[in-house]
Structure 1
Amino acid sequence: MTLIGMPRDAAVTMSLTLECILYGISIFMFLGTICALTHNRHMHDIDRPSLVVAVLLLILSTAHVVVNIFRAEDGLVKHRDIFPGGPTAFFADVSQSTYLIKSALYVMQTLLADGIIYRCYVVWQSARVIILPCILWCSVAVTGVHAVYSCSQSSRSIFAAELARWIEVFLVSTIATNLLSSGLLAYRIWLVERSASTMRTQETSLMPILRVLVDSAVLYTAVLFPALICFLFSNTGEVVVVDMAMPIMSIAFYMVLVRIAINRNRRFTTFPKSTTSETQQGDSQQYPMSPLQFHASKITHSNGHLVYGSGKGQSSTDFE
């Protein structure tokens, strides 16, 4: 099979460099996320699921960077002169243990990052809404596990027809899961914002949250589409794009929590502006930061959380 793109050893060097840079950024984002989740909160108020996912993403991305460093050392230093075909052949061998480990880590991180399905369920409070995203998530799991297993049974190129098909389906399923879940989540928040805008008495809005969700989905998808194109055209650039995807998945997750925290702090430190001079002269009372509620679907600001619920008397759910 004729491959296009840069030599594999050059691709591995570039991918490791870019991944390390993005990994450094993700470390700072992780620290910001921990601060956003724990600052000025009691232990029982901390969003534990988000905290656990944030830590797991850091662990997986760290392990991926470490494995890639060992893989680069093996191919470029240890086995440079003893592996048949040199570094290019070494990095093309998908049965190498380091390649299998990094691929397994990538699949696990993808499944964890696609946990946005849970947020979708939290906001909609309906299992029907997440049926299709769950099916797509299962497709990601099945194709990802099978692709890693196929690599362990073959020493051929990753672009071999039978292996490439599984990887392509894996990437398509991942893109579809991300776009569908993010779209459903954004649509629900837009509906809540539209309903609340007619009765809002203070300067609060869900639009910043909507924008950050869209930004996160676009960022994640922007790295998956090039990876899919590289596989379709047997381009060795897939090495660079796929390795970059690991820290980007973490960054996309962290940026949502960090920007929600920033928006929350702005809301609590900004007083509503008076709309008329008469109000300024006759009444200096400021509107309190009271919960904003409506009957069919409600959103409440409580302890810095965005709390969603439906109907009167039903339990609400935090969304971070």
Structure 2
Amino acid sequence: MASRGIPVDTGALMTAVLEGILYGFSLLMFMGTVWSLTYRQHVQNINRPIAVVAILLLLLSTAHIVMSIIRVEDGLVKYCDTYPGGPVAFFADVSQETYVIKHPLYVLQTLLADGVVIYRCHVVCQSVRVIILPSMLWCSVAITGIHAVYSVSQSGSTTSIFTQELATWVMAFFVSTIATNVLSSGLLAYRIWAIERNVATIRASTKGTMMPIVRVLVDAAVLYSVALFITLICFLCSNNGEYVMVDMVMPIISIAFYMVLIRIAINRNRNRRCLSTVGTIAETEQGDLQEYPMKPLQVHISRFTRSDSTSAYEMGNERQPSGRRSPPWASEK
């Protein structure tokens, strides 16, 4: 099957540049994630599983971009004049070691990111039945991804990624990961929205709302899904842009993961500051009460009665002091 689109050597150079830009952005977001996980936190209170996942995503992205740079250097410099067919034939060869190594890294990155989304869905929904279908799709991602990588590693130098024996497994891999991401993220966002809606009916204030987290979850899912859809469309059209998109998806996965973590940490720190402010106000008011203790009050209760015969108001249980003259308005008419 003939490929279309940009030349493969131009696509390889474009891939290295675009992936490098996105990788730099993901590196900055990783620093923000580390700050959000450790800000005013004791070592024993740090969420270690999330920290490990964030570090693994960074390591996989770093290894992938290193292999991309090595592949570009090999095709355009090292083997530019010695490889039969030149750089175009070199980058079209899917049996190259640098090309084969990049795809297991991409599959691991995908499995790790999708697994985290499914785990979050399980934690929020508190139900195993909810994640049965996403877990089956995750297993499909693993099976199709491993088989696609194995098929590429066993292919010859003249084999194209768009041939029928490779295209079937690659297409199944993309469809499975898109379905896993959309379903898991959709269930997670819907569950948080439903909880927020139920709480809002009995809450007078909206300062503790979780809707910003829902919006970030949706944005991250849309960002990842759009990148995968474009990759799938390029692959179905046998367009060489698929090579570019696959490499760009690697840092996009990390960016989508980091942006959710940072938003959750910001929301958590904001709630903590609100609680700290309320506690400070309460302590101040308690100190004021201790400094100015309340004294017992003397209450005098008077009874007003109306006499029809005199048409005057008299105060009950009250005696005029002897030797003193009553005021004019108290005298009878």
Match of 2:292 in 1: none
Q: CA offsets per residue over residues 128-147 of structure 1, 9 Å max, x none?
A: 11010010000100010000
The aligned residue for residue 241 of structure 1 is 245
Counterpart of 1:295?
none
**What letter matches 2:262 in structure 1?**
V
What is the rounded CA distance, in whole Å, between the counterparts of 1:200 and 1:45 in structure 2? 29
> Is residue 2:215 matched to residue 1:214?
no
Deviation at 1:49, TM superposition (A): 1.2
1:52 matched to which residue of 2?
Answer: 52
In structure 2, the residue matched to 1:124 is: 125
| Cα shift at 1:184 | 0.7
Equivalent in the alignment of 2:255: 251
Q: Distance in 2 between matches of 1:62 and 1:35?
A: 20
Mapped partners of 2:86, 2:150: distance in 1: 25
2:186 maps to a residue whose letter is G
> Per-residue displacement from partner, 1:242-265 (whole Å, max 9, x unpaired)?
110000000000000111222333
Match of 2:151, as an amino acid?
A: S
How is 1:99-138 mapped onto 2 (pairs within 5 angstroms)? Answer: 99-115=99-115, 116-138=117-139
Q: Distance in 1 between matches of 2:186 and 2:44?
A: 30
| Amino acid aligned to 2:128 | A
**Aligned-partner Cα distance in 2 for 1:134–1:44:** 31
**Residue identity matched to 2:129:** R
| Matched-pair identity in % | 64
Shift of 1:269: 4.3
Aligned counterpart, 2:174: 171
The one-letter code of the counterpart of 2:233 is: I
CA distance in 2, matches of 1:268, 1:208: 16
Counterpart CA distance in 1 for 2:88 and 2:190 is 47
Alpha-carbon distance in 1 for matches of 2:125, 2:220: 19
Paired residue type of 2:181: N
Letter in 2 for 1:149: Y
The DSSP-based 3-state class of the residue aligned with 1:178 is: helix
C-alpha distance in structure 1 between counterparts of 2:92 and 2:139, whole Å: 28
Question: What is aligned with 2:290?
Answer: none
State the Cα distance separating 1:268 from its structure 2 match: 4.2
Does 51-60 or 39-48 show the bigger shift?
Answer: 39-48
For residues 48 and 119 of structure 2, what CA distance do their matches in structure 1 show?
13
Number of positions where the alignment pairs a residue of Structure 1 with one of Structure 2: 273
Cα shift readout 1:166-223 (whole Å, capped 9, x = no counterpart)? 1111000000000000011011101110110011143210101100100010010111
1:196 aligns with 2:199: yes
One-letter amino acid of the counterpart of residue 150, structure 1: S
1:1-320 superposed matches below 5 A? 1-115=1-115, 116-155=117-156, 156-202=159-205, 203-269=207-273
Q: TM-score, with normalisation over the residues of structure 2?
A: 0.80
For the pair shown, which has the larger CA radius of gyration, 1 or 2? 2
- Given residue 163 of structure 2, which amino acid in structure 1 is its aligned partner? A
CA RMSD of aligned residues (A): 1.3
Report the more deviating stretch, 108-117 or 40-49.
Answer: 40-49
Q: Give the Cα–Cα distance (whole angstroms) in 1 for the partners of residues 253 and 211 of structure 2.
A: 23
Query: What one-letter code is carried by the residue in structure 2 that aligns with 1:141?
Result: A
Task: Structure 1: state its 5+ residue gaps.
Answer: 272-284, 287-320
Deviation at 1:38, TM superposition (A): 1.2
Superposed CA offset, 1:78-101 (max 9, x none): 111111111111111111111111
Aligned to 1:317: none
User: Unmatched 5+ residue regions in structure 2?
Assistant: 276-280, 283-333
CA–CA distance in structure 2, aligned partners of residues 251 and 151 of structure 1: 28
Cα offsets for 1:101-128 (capped at 9, x unmatched)? 1011000000001021011111111111
- What is the distance in 1 between the residues matched to 2:85 and 2:181? 39
Deviations 1:286-320 (A, max 9, x none): 8xxxxxxxxxxxxxxxxxxxxxxxxxxxxxxxxxx
Measured in 1, the distance between the counterparts of 2:238 and 2:85 equals: 20
Give how far 1:77 is off: 1.0
Aligned to 1:114, the other structure's residue is in SS state helix
CA displacement, residues 40-65 of structure 1 (integer Å, 9 cap, x when unaligned): 11222211111110000000000001
